Structure 1
């Protein structure tokens, strides 16, 4: 089976390929890379060549000659594009910050700007998939994952599924902190969990092992909470008040003043850091002299990237270093491969995914994309029933979903009113006048 990776020059593509090499199922017979930047995809192809060295049965890799060539014959398509590159991300961060509101690539005004730029390209990809590979499954990594998946689903229906590694990472960290056997976390006969929300806005509300609920004991134990990232980010008092473990990105909502203060006067935004770091990597890699040198440079750069992830939020919550478990890299790759195998094997595996709501959250439209626990088989991902949301959870979901749907509408129909509505209604944008200025400046600098 052919796996196509769109955004094949992306820095994290080697993590996917490494997982494929370690995959005992060997479902993929060929990897096809497509990227709009030939220099980047050539460097990443060299890293993959180094990973394949010495492997008894390496997966062949080919760089496609255009989008249509990449899609024809694909069984699965991993979409991990970045429209506008890191330069676009920097604008998404800096323009809102100049107006005194948070700029982040998936949250707040920055996420809306990124969505407006990305959705038209994602829709074009969906249309080409429908024309050239109608039987393919599209696994969307592209941020903002919820709204991009929602837009693509208008063309592809349930054959596009969004993924994120934050929820599964939260489940694993919480289970480890609660003392669960790590081997049990992936065993559906032993471990259960209730997670629901939107992409980068969700809550782990139940965690069971062999039928015993672990979450209340974990929330009551400050030492255990202090042993993992979300516990340190939010603090025991607030977590006990919530009665749940929030996705790490909810720190931007719950501690908006502290997070904004930590980033407002920053010398370097996350986008600027990645622009320099990855730009430097690709420049040095082009002259590194062989796959071994390129791979070693990639590994050093990857570790630095993982160490600095969500640095401003960690600074706002007291400053601390990431755990070694979370520096190994991967996450997206493991979720994507688990999803692919569950579809191919019709296994009924439970995964946290971005899918159409159906009746999972009755207050949302059936075609709205939510992030929740799904059962996956040959027909795709089916969201499982969940307990009713608390009013505070539902209220935040409804407001942010209104923002996402307005963003999709604005991108589809080039509707300035919908774009202004998306920005002005976001919980992290405090004035329609601010929203209008952000929108105007973004249009001028595009």
Structure 2
């Protein structure tokens, strides 16, 4: 075993970083972290400096022998790294605001990882992640890439399919939250229960059984959706889980909170538009929360994660990110839900695509639990959305306009036809700084707009 670990966090200036540092501190007996490199870009330099100094205070307060390095030079950081984590946002929150505002202005769902906004986050993010992978091949070829950057499923898909890099795991805190909060609803210890998740990131379903093999799924559905008093979302940016009980009861599986956008599209859109008019988009609210957080982080006496970070929407992030590093490094064989290659786990989807499934995390990476096939209600939506993801990922890599339009046309949260094309064109122009692969097409769109 090595004497110490070198971990690189790209997007180190994120407001989430203190949660990650806390996770490393709590696991230091098993994860002997010697070097933590926080990498960011020029645009994020100020935040990186604030978070970096706080990270140093946290490490010092914990009396851990670990050096924290801040750099804008990614290649310097990556050399000989053991693990690389990504939590970046290309274009920062201003880009997310556009992802939400532009679709909403045309009467469509405006959301960070779903619909038009989710596709455009993928378009901006995937080329950057693939560049990171190329650097890793040269500078740290044995490292694992742990991706927390959304849309995590599509990013992981791109890394495996186009980056030809299998040592990648996509992570999301939603399954972690679900296990803790649903166990509490059942008045059980999470250790007594087995949750099996299957689907794709932000579009999965799960079942739950106790340690004697008894299914508790239908009981949980009744508690969550049959009793209005328990109707509360586990995700900060999604309204209450007020799904139609008869529908979810028929599934005999618990849907991910993001299913609300697909099962109750009209209601979700109505609420988003109302919020948009009254208090701005979710991204604008998050910007306010982040401003408050960074003011806290500036406090030279603050050497621990503040409670306000939970409002940011990343609760239990460190549990997901640090547990998976711990489980790979020490071959702990923890049971976690991750985005990884399907390999026949879900028989309804291609073997070579990425899925989000319950897996055992070994020293060689995730080993998924076999799931099998979905019933028609879940299968139809899952196959549609996975096909849409594959098109969006291809468009992100190739910059092909027609492929992108196909993804837009397929997505159930995007109005079809010429309105979809208009929204797509507006988003392309709005994000042109971060979409070099579409540069020629964007020039055409701008020229046509000026002419008209």
- Within a 5 Å distance, the mapping from 1:321-340 to structure 2 comes to 330-340=315-325
Determine if contact 2:31/2:326 at 8 Å carries over to the other structure: no
Instruction: State the 1:340 CA deviation.
Output: 1.1
Using the TM superposition, give the Cα deviation of residue 65 of structure 1 relative to its aligned residue in structure 2, in angstroms. 4.6
Provide the secondary structure at the position in 2 that maps to 1:56: coil
Q: Secondary structure, in 3 states, of the residue corresponding to 2:47?
A: helix
Show the counterpart of 2:38: 33
Unaligned stretches of 5+ residues in structure 2: 235-239, 432-452
Bigger mean CA offset, 415-424 vs 432-441: 432-441
Task: Please state how far the C-alpha of 1:60 moved relative to its aligned partner.
Answer: 2.2
Q: What is the aligned partner in structure 2 of residue 360 from structure 1?
A: 345
8 Å CA contact 1:177–1:227 kept in 2: the answer is no
CA contact (8 A) 2:110 2:116 kept: yes
Find the residue that maps to 2:188 and give its secondary structure. Answer: coil
| 2:230 maps to 1:226 | yes
Which of the numbers 97, 114, 131 marks the counterpart of 2:104? 97
Task: Report the Cα distance in structure 2 between the residues aligned to 1:16 and 1:102, rounded to whole angstroms.
Answer: 31
Give the C-alpha shift of residue 332 in structure 1.
2.1
- C-alpha distance 397-12 of structure 1, shift in aligned 2 (>3 A): same
CA distance in 1, matches of 2:13, 2:266: 36
SS for the counterpart of 1:17 is helix
**Helix, strand or coil for the counterpart of 2:182?**
helix
Give the alignment of 1:101-250 within 5 angstroms.
101-153=108-160, 154-182=162-190, 184=191, 190-221=192-223, 222-223=226-227, 226=230, 229=233, 232-234=241-243, 236-250=245-259
- SS in structure 1 opposite 2:37? strand
CA contact (8 A) 2:347 2:373 kept: no
Deviation at 1:299, TM superposition (A): 2.3
Q: TM-score, normalised by structure 2?
A: 0.86
Q: Deviations over 1:57-80 (max 9, x none)?
A: 253211135010111111000011
Indicate if the aligned counterparts of 2:116 and 2:414 stay in contact, CA closer than 8 A: yes
- Aligned pairs for 1:50-69 (under 5 A) are 50-69=57-76
Q: Which residue of 2 aligns with 1:71?
A: 78
- State the 1:104 CA deviation: 0.5
- Separation of aligned partners in 2, 1:191 and 1:302: 28
Query: 1:27/1:156 Cα in 2 relative to 1: closer, same or farther (>3 Å)?
Result: farther
Instruction: Assess if the C-alpha contact under 8 Å between 2:15 and 2:293 holds in 1.
Output: no
Q: Is the 8 A contact 1:139 1:163 kept in 2?
A: yes
- Conserved 8 A contact 1:195-1:202: yes
Distance 1:387 1:65 in 2: 45
| Contact 1:233 1:248 survives alignment (8 Å) | no
Residue 241 of structure 2 contacts residue 257 of structure 2 at CA under 8 Å; is this kept in 1? no
CA distance in 2, matches of 1:142, 1:54: 29
Compute the displacement of 1:366 (Å): 1.8
* Of 391, 398, 404, the match for 1:419: 404
Once residues 81 and 110 of structure 1 are traced to their aligned partners in structure 2, the CA distance between those partners, rounded to angstroms, is 16
Q: Note if 1:48 corresponds to 2:33.
A: no
User: Which secondary structure state, in structure 1, belongs to the residue aligned with residue 178 of structure 2?
Assistant: helix
**8 Å Cα contact 1:225-1:232 kept in structure 2:** no
Distance 1:54 1:118, change over 3 A: closer
Helix, strand or coil: the match of 2:166?
A: helix
